[in-house]
Amino acid sequence: MWIATIANRDWPSRSGLSADRQRAELLAHLDTAVERRLNTVVLQVRPSADALWPSPHEPWAQCLTGVQGRDPGWDPLGTAVEEAHRRGLELHAWFNPYRVAHHTDPSRLAAGHPARRHPDWVLPYGGKLFYDPGRPEVRRFVQDAMLDAVRRYAVDAVHWDDYFYPYPVAGEEFPDDPAYERYGGDFPDKAAWRRNNIDLLVSETSARIRETREGVAFGVSPFGVWRNAATDPEGSDTRGGVQTYDDLHADTRKWIREGWIDHVIPQLYWHIGHEAVDYAKALPWWDAVVRGTGVGLYVGEALYKCGASGQPSAWQDAGELSRHLTLAGRYAAVGGHCFFSAKEVAADPLGAMTAVVRDHYPERGASAAPAP
Q: Structural domain of residue 336, as residue ranges?
A: 2-360
Q: Is residue 370 part of a domain?
A: no
Q: Residue 70 belongs to a domain with what CATH number?
A: 3.20.20.80
Q: Is residue 29 part of a domain?
A: yes
Q: Is residue 41 a contact partner of residue 91, using CB atoms and an 8 Å limit?
A: yes
* Closest to 346 measured CA to CA, from 307, 303, 301: 303
**Tens digit of each residue's pLDDT (9 = 90 or more) over 198-237:** 999 999 999 999 999 999 999 999 999 999 999 999 999 9
pLDDT bucket at 368, cuts 50 / 70 / 90:
low
* Closest to 64 measured CA to CA, from 107, 111, 108, 7: 7
Q: Is residue 369 part of a domain?
A: no
**Strand arrangement of the beta sheet that strand 217-220 belongs to:** 2-3, 40-46, 90-95, 157-160, 217-220, 263-264, 296-301, 334-339
pLDDT bucket at 371, cuts 50 / 70 / 90:
very low
Give Cβ neighbours of residue 305 (< 8 Å, ≥ 6 apart). 269, 271, 311, 315
Kindly report which listed range (38-47, 138-147, 346-355, 357-366) carries the lowest average pLDDT score: 357-366
pLDDT bucket at 25, cuts 50 / 70 / 90:
very high
**Tens digit of each residue's pLDDT (9 = 90 or more) over 270-319:** 999 999 999 999 999 999 999 999 999 999 999 999 999 999 999 999 99
Give the Cα-Cα-Cα angle 244, 198, 118 (nearest 5 degrees). 120
Mean of the per-residue pLDDT values of the chain: 97
Q: Is residue 156 part of a domain?
A: yes
Q: Is residue 16 part of a domain?
A: yes
Q: Is residue 112 part of a domain?
A: yes
What is the total count of domains within the chain?
Answer: 1
**pLDDT score for 365:** 72
Sign of CA dihedral 213, 217, 222, 226: positive
Sign of CA dihedral 314, 316, 322, 324: positive
